[in-house]
Amino acid sequence: MKKQPIGFMDSGVGGLTVLKEAMRQLPNEDLIFIGDQARLPYGEKPAEIVKGFAWQMTNFLVRHEIKALVVACNTATAAALPDLQAQLAIPVIGVIAPGSQLASTVTKNQQVGVIATTGTIQSGAYSQQLKALVPEMTVNGLAVPDFVMMIEANQRHGAAVQQKVNQLLAPLKMSQIDTLILGCTHFPLLATAIQTAVGPNVTLVDPAKAAVADLVQVLSDRQVLADTQQAGRLQTFTTGQVSDFTPIARQWLGLPDLNAQQVTIQGEKNDGPN
């Protein structure tokens, strides 16, 4: 089992932020990533639909004999994580709990903002996690679904992008937050513009680092970390157009020779494991 790959799934390219962190912390592990670009955005869809999509990606990855699964999507974590954890024999790591834990240690005034998709904000998942950790925490949630499509279109830099980010995050300027959770794995790809919009006194929290740290701990506890010194192998898949996925993946991961494969997963079971 030590050399079995680790699976990562997301609605699109956002999960690459978690994958990149895994490549840094686990350089000897084989990794498999799937982005469901054909059906994004997830954040505006009903939770039951998202859960079905998550199961289809999971079953695709399980057929590759993964030893652990990372739900590198906040919307899918909110909709499907408990079901996946209950029905799979392998460890399943989400991003909401680790991100909340990290934010609770960063904030000084117990005022935390969360930007995410509509689905994640409406689920209340971050607010519940944060208040369970610190009952007196004030949580300011803001849905910014436009960020997902901007990032999928590789619109991440320039004056027009900054103006749009400033406009969408303006409601947070009236709050007293000192910490802002990037509650969608796409959003670290816009981190520079987001930081400029909220100002230097607000600390951005990317759940990716904490989620991968949890993954490392679980694999260590189970004694299934790769025991080779060889660099791990990476496979990337998209349900959308390879031409949309590859440029962003190459740029973000720093892998100019990366080649993704297009797959169809609609035939996978959508209400539980195969």
**Residues in the annotated binding site for substrate:** 10-11, 42-43, 74-75, 185-186
Residue 110: left (phi > 0), alpha (psi -120 to 50), or beta? left
Alpha-carbon span 268 to 272, nearest angstrom: 10
Residue at token pair 């799937």: 34
Alpha-carbon span 66 to 167, nearest angstrom: 42
Alpha-carbon span 205 to 166, nearest angstrom: 18
Find the catalytic residue in 18, 73, 114, 190: 73
Going by the annotation, the residues of the binding site are 10-11, 42-43, 74-75, 185-186
Find the catalytic residue in 184, 198, 219, 226: 184
Residue at token pair 């506890």: 221
Alpha-carbon span 83 to 122, nearest angstrom: 19
Q: 89-94: which pairs have CB atoms within 8 A and are 24 or more residues apart?
A: 90/62, 90/66, 91/215, 91/218, 91/219, 91/222, 92/68, 93/68, 93/69, 93/211, 93/214, 93/215, 93/218, 94/211
Q: Is 184 considered catalytic here?
A: yes
Would you please indicate which residues are annotated as catalytic (active-site) residues? Answer: 73, 184
